[in-house]
Amino acid sequence: MIGRPKPPGLDAAAKIRARARSRQGPAAMMPDAVSALGVRVAGGPLVPLEIRRREPGPRDVVIDILFCGLCDCDVREGRKEWPAARLPLVPGHQIVGVVARTGAGAADLEPGARVGVGALVDSCRECAPCRAGQEQLCAGSVATYGALDPRTGEYTRGGYSKRIVVDRDFVLRIPAALELAVAASLPCAGIRAYATLLHHGVGPGSTVGVPDPGGRGALAASLAAAMGAAVNVPAAADPLQVVIDTGPMAPSLVGSVAETRQLLEFCAKHQVAPGFELVGAQGLNEAWERILAADVQHGFVLDLATLGGND
């Protein structure tokens, strides 16, 4: 899927609402108050916020967020002139943390388990793409932030926060061999390259060209090399090669949940670890300005330990 997911279609939204109602437990808890960083005023800076997460249901996982990777689309979305009803905007769709608690239907994830969340937090589960494991193509897919959640009638808020509630089907286990901060730099930039390489069947005997040798280009080159391909950095004039566009304005490919899980396992197995700069809450606005100015050698990862509250 190119770009951010579209808002859920009417039929898909109705399916999500019906499924949510059928999963409500008899003793619902009050929504958690959560510390976050977000855009309160259209076009304004990131500021400290307190937000409410939805009540956890039987299939939900409550995650204490430790790290969240920054993405250039976070900045683009944050700079839009959003209507007041959609604010505050809390970005972040490269989320990594540990399980705080789960509903009975998600008990395979024990408290303390290392987990992550990518670009999506829901879909209709019934359409042909969902049944084929391609929920990113679902007309009712719900983005991790800035999307209308048919369950609640509110807009989703992402990982620049201390805690999130996510349906089990969209929670990713983080392999033990991956450092958590490293994992937080993979679900967006990594899946762009990984899904493209998979789509083109890259492997031994393939040639992959990467025009930009820095940042995401280096990650794409590392993934291609781990798949057994020959890599040209920068891309050479070779008509037989697959060229991976990793520039700031490159189309954003949202991979499926299964592909993202596969990416994490692949990086753990082959020790693919992208470079990144760790940034604290106080430096987040500066990091955004550097992303806008293309002053980034590697990606940024937000350390949520630097944001007060919910400890």
User: Computed from CA positions of residues 126, 118, 253, 270, in that sequence, does the dihedral angle turn out positive or negative?
Assistant: negative
Is 96 strand, coil or helix? Answer: strand
Does residue 143 carry a pLDDT above 60? Answer: yes
The 8-class DSSP code of residue 267 comes to H
Mean predicted confidence (pLDDT) in 196-202: 89
Q: Do the beta carbons of residue 29 and residue 58 sit within 8 Å?
A: no
Helix H or strand E segment including 290: helix 284-292
Does residue 250 carry a pLDDT above 90? Answer: no
pLDDT per position as a tens digit, 55-103: 999 999 999 999 999 998 899 999 887 777 788 999 999 999 999 999 9
Which is more confident, 2 or 103? 103
pLDDT per position as a tens digit, 174-185: 999 999 999 999
| Tokens 């009050």, residue located | 30
List, as own/partner pairs, every contact residues 21-30 make where C-beta atoms lie below 8 angstroms and the sequence separation is at least 24, other chains included.
23/57, 23/58, 23/59, 23/105, 24/55, 24/57, 25/57, 25/58, 25/103, 28/55, 29/55, 29/56, 30/55
Residues above pLDDT 90, as percent of the chain: 62
What average pLDDT does the structure give for the chain? 86
Residues above pLDDT 70, as percent of the chain: 83
Q: Do the beta carbons of residue 67 and residue 279 sit within 8 Å?
A: no
Residues with Cβ within 8 Å of residue 114, at least 6 apart in sequence = 96, 97, 98, 173, 174, 176, 180
* Exposure class string for 26-40: b at 16+ Cβ within 10 A, else e: eeeeeebebbbbbbe
| Tokens 């809390």, residue located | 90
The pTM score is 0.85
Does residue 203 carry a pLDDT above 90? Answer: yes
Does residue 161 carry a pLDDT above 60? Answer: yes
Per-residue pLDDT band at 251 (split at 50, 70, 90):
very low
